[in-house]
Structure 1
Amino acid sequence: MPGRTMRAIRLHEHGGPEVLRYDEVPLPEPAPGEVLVRVQAVGVNPPDWYLRDGLRNIPPETRPTFDLPVTPGTDVSGVVEAVAPGVEGFSVGDEVFGLLRFPGFDGRAYAEYVAAPASDLAHKPAGIDHVHAAGAPMSLLTAWQFLIELGHDHPSPFQAARHRPVALDADTRVLVNGAAGGVGHFALQLAKWKGAHVIAVASGTHESFLRELGADEFIDYTSTRPEELAHDVDLVLDAVGGPDSSRFLRTLKRGGALFPVFFGAYDDEETANLGVTVSGTQVRSHGPQLAEAGRLLTTGAVRVAIDSTFPLPDARAAHERASRGHIQGKIVLTVA
């Protein structure tokens, strides 16, 4: 396929959504162990706008390096166009989805075609379309690796101890903060799949949506403080983070745990006095694990909520939507 070109979104500089450019670029050649995917849809995730912004919110010591111009994006769903040597389990014409090369920032998914490591891919779940499949990989794997099975031995750059999920069953009370967002709505559903009692925290506009997903209790953080209502919780999954994240420590019973998905501020002395733990990890690409989690999408035990879709050339509008917050599920780019 030498000389062929495609269209892709690229960053030539850092800044706001306006720096996303729709360029003509060479069609990628899959290396050994990779497949060429004709992209149908791309999931939009926080790391995409972190990259656009120059990764300023990531501690310098853990900040990956990259060169401009760069194509953002890690979540993809599409059709295998070509298979390089060393690939087993995928053939031309297969529908696939995956989280590409994460925790790096070299997924290059905002494009008409992408060369994808076969180890990062899984067959697209039957019964869901490419838009919903593209909305799943990063957020679903994040919830899965925090709550169900870590699935890798890579140390977290954010803590010395290895993260270990806790057992979830009918005797477990789980609070999900940011329950309407990408990671949050999957975490709620996975906890319910395991039989747990789930308390969802979000703004009031999301209550009916979250109760439909199975939330047993709902707390509107815009009208009340969750830590004043929720008590004796076994596990908090905080998909929001930020300077107020430590307030959720007070909702936990002794022996409970708080899992921060995003950066938070926690005091070691306070956690010791409360008898609770704080533990996190960093999601990593994992095709076989995504295939396992994807079976829940096939059966309908877990579903992907779509906040909005935008054509690939309108990636700027998708990022502007993300910047307004209060996202219900996932934002997805569609590729003609």
Structure 2
Amino acid sequence: MKAVRFNQFGGPEVLGIVDLPDPHPGPGQVRIAVRAAGVNPSDWKKRKGLMDRELPQMLGHEAAGVVDELGEGVADVAVGDRVFGFSGEGAAQAELAVLDHYAPIPASLDFPGAAALPAAIETATRALDQLGVGSGSTLLINGASGSVGSAAVQLAVVRGTRVIGTASPANHEYLRSLGAEPVAYGSGLVGRVRVLAPDGVDEALDVAGSGVLPELIELTGGTEHVVTVADFAGAQRYGVTFSRGDAGRAVHVLAEIGELIEAGRFSLPVAQTFPLAEIAEAHRVSEDGHVRGKLVLLVG
């Protein structure tokens, strides 16, 4: 099979498409013929050597496609079914991928739309669960217009939460369409939020990693009410929870999201698609950081 791999750390030019042996599923896993795979900021961070240090590396944590091989004990899907989910090996940007966690693709979604979901909805749900976000509370999301942020907005609204979201003015109408009250990010954030919530907010989620943890702590009244998914150094400095998947992933959302999508209560736009061969360009666009919605590779 053809797959994305890099043999040294560096810029997008180190990425290559190589021929590798076909993978096979273990117990409880399925293999899919990949039709689309999501691109995430963690991909270019790995490529630059900012995360895992082993070489060579493959890429891709999420994919959608058609089941073509079942692992031992799998009885909830059949060969030929459309599914989306997670590659535990981080090797989903390939013609074939083994999925550890998966769910049927909602009927109204195509493969790119399904591939856009897993990382964003899992990250958002995990953070909301850690914060205990629920009905009647007010949540501030810093960086609310990206894929994880917009997922968190919608999933919090479903829980009955009031959401205030930071974004550039160009994205304020988009946030309103998702059910959030927008505010501009940058200097003076605390004052702008207090105009909407004079007594502060109950919880805050930092998706942008833009150095605002002190302001979020001030607005919530304590570090225990703040979670970041993007600022590891800041979390250590200020005593805030940094949410990461190795502490327990919210994979339950894979099976739950379809009902919300079919009811018109959740959507995650695909911002741009790229053929697998244009993986380097996908990294350049992702690293630029000005994407509303998800970047997706088209495979097969």
Query: TM exceeds 0.5?
Result: yes
Give the counterpart of 1:125 among 95, 106, 110: 106
Aligned in 2, Cα 1:52/1:220: closer, same or farther, shift over 3 Å?
same
Q: CA deviation at 1:32?
A: 3.4
What code does the residue aligned with 2:277 have? P
What code does the residue aligned with 2:12 have? P
Q: What does residue range 167-186 of structure 1 map to in structure 2 within 5 Å? A: 167-169=133-135, 171-186=136-151
Determine the C-alpha separation between the residues in 1 that align with 2:192 and 2:114: 36
Does the residue aligned with 1:209 lie in a helix, a strand or coil? helix
Question: What are structure 2's unaligned runs of at least 5 residues?
Answer: 195-199
Q: CA deviation at 1:260?
A: 0.8
Does the residue aligned with 2:20 lie in a helix, a strand or coil? strand
Aligned in 2, Cα 1:7/1:191: closer, same or farther, shift over 3 Å?
same
What code does the residue aligned with 2:292 have? Q
Q: CA deviation at 1:255?
A: 9.0
Q: CA deviation at 1:331?
A: 0.8
Question: What are structure 1's unaligned runs of at least 5 residues?
Answer: 1-5, 59-63, 149-163, 272-277
Q: Does structure 1 retain, via aligned residues, the 8 Å contact 2:121–2:253?
A: no
Does 2:9 correspond to 1:14? yes
What code does the residue aligned with 2:234 have? A
What code does the residue aligned with 1:193 have? V
Determine the C-alpha separation between the residues in 1 that align with 2:157 and 2:233: 25
Q: CA deviation at 1:39?
A: 0.5
Equivalent residue, structure 1, for 2:35: 40
Give the counterpart of 1:166 among 119, 125, 132: 132
Q: Does structure 2 retain, via aligned residues, the 8 Å contact 1:204–1:220?
A: yes
What code does the residue aligned with 2:90 have? G
What code does the residue aligned with 1:261 have? V
Q: CA deviation at 1:256?
A: 7.0
Higher helix proportion (structure 1 or 2): 2
Q: Does structure 2 retain, via aligned residues, the 8 Å contact 1:122–1:288?
A: no
Give the counterpart of 2:188 among 218, 225, 231: 225
Determine the C-alpha separation between the residues in 2 that align with 1:23 and 1:79: 22
Q: CA deviation at 1:23?
A: 1.7
Equivalent residue, structure 2, for 1:79: 66
Does 2:216 correspond to 1:248? yes
Range with greater deviation from structure 2 (324-333 or 246-255): 246-255
Q: Does structure 1 retain, via aligned residues, the 8 Å contact 2:145–2:175?
A: yes
Give the alignment's Cα RMSD to 1 decimal. Answer: 2.2
Equivalent residue, structure 1, for 2:258: 294
Equivalent residue, structure 2, for 1:323: 287
Q: How many residues align?
A: 292
Equivalent residue, structure 1, for 2:275: 311
Equivalent residue, structure 2, for 1:333: 297
Q: CA deviation at 1:84?
A: 2.7
Determine the C-alpha separation between the residues in 1 that align with 2:236 and 2:53: 30
Equivalent residue, structure 1, for 2:115: 134
Q: Does structure 1 retain, via aligned residues, the 8 Å contact 2:228–2:235?
A: no
Does 2:94 correspond to 1:111? yes
Give the counterpart of 1:188 among 141, 153, 157: 153
Does the residue aligned with 2:234 lie in a helix, a strand or coil? coil
Q: CA deviation at 1:288?
A: 4.1
TM-score, normalised relative to structure 1: 0.80
Aligned in 2, Cα 1:26/1:236: closer, same or farther, shift over 3 Å?
same
Does the residue aligned with 1:26 lie in a helix, a strand or coil? coil
Does the residue aligned with 2:27 lie in a helix, a strand or coil? coil
Determine the C-alpha separation between the residues in 1 that align with 2:110 and 2:16: 27
Does the residue aligned with 1:205 lie in a helix, a strand or coil? helix
Aligned in 2, Cα 1:289/1:244: closer, same or farther, shift over 3 Å?
closer
Does 2:113 correspond to 1:145? no
Does the residue aligned with 2:175 lie in a helix, a strand or coil? helix
Aligned in 2, Cα 1:195/1:31: closer, same or farther, shift over 3 Å?
closer
Determine the C-alpha separation between the residues in 2 that align with 1:316 and 1:136: 22
Determine the C-alpha separation between the residues in 2 that align with 1:29 and 1:286: 25
Equivalent residue, structure 2, for 1:209: 174
Q: CA deviation at 1:177?
A: 0.6
